Structure 1
Amino acid sequence: MTTADDSRPATISELRMVRDQLNGRIDNLRDELNNRIDDLRDEMNRRIDDLQRMMLWGMGLLAALMIALMGVVLSGV
């Protein structure tokens, strides 16, 4: 491997420096990706909770409506 300007072969220390820089970038990208995954997982869980809450309210309202209708039917009105 040569230097950026191809003027000479890269030294071991230069190669190690580049390796360390690349490893640092990889670590940063991995951290960013993990943070994004966590954010998406949290958002998905919030949406699931909202959907479950809506379903519970919907079922509760439907049950209340059916009970009221049954009361009207049984009262003979």
Structure 2
Amino acid sequence: MVIHLAETPLRPAAFLHNQIVWQKAGASSVRASITDAGITVNGEFFFNDRGQVNEFRANDRFCCPRNSKEHQR
């Protein structure tokens, strides 16, 4: 679902989807949450000076260095 959220700018009508909740996060960013079947994912969209989305961040995807304890589990 986080991919669906991240790709919202590619489908502008998706910005109006009733499952997406929007909140202002900063001067040039908004947080979005989408819930489906009881599962919620969140992300933050960042905008450039022209009002275009230039970055998306979500905390549910991360990478552990190969030598970390988390990677060895």
Q: If the TM-score is normalised by the length of the shorter chain, which range does it land in?
A: under 0.3
More strand by share: 2
Normalised by the size of structure 1, how large is the TM-score?
Answer: 0.20
The structure showing larger relative contact order (alpha-carbon pairs under 8 Å, at least 6 residues apart) is 2
Normalised by the size of structure 2, how large is the TM-score?
Answer: 0.20
More helix by share: 1
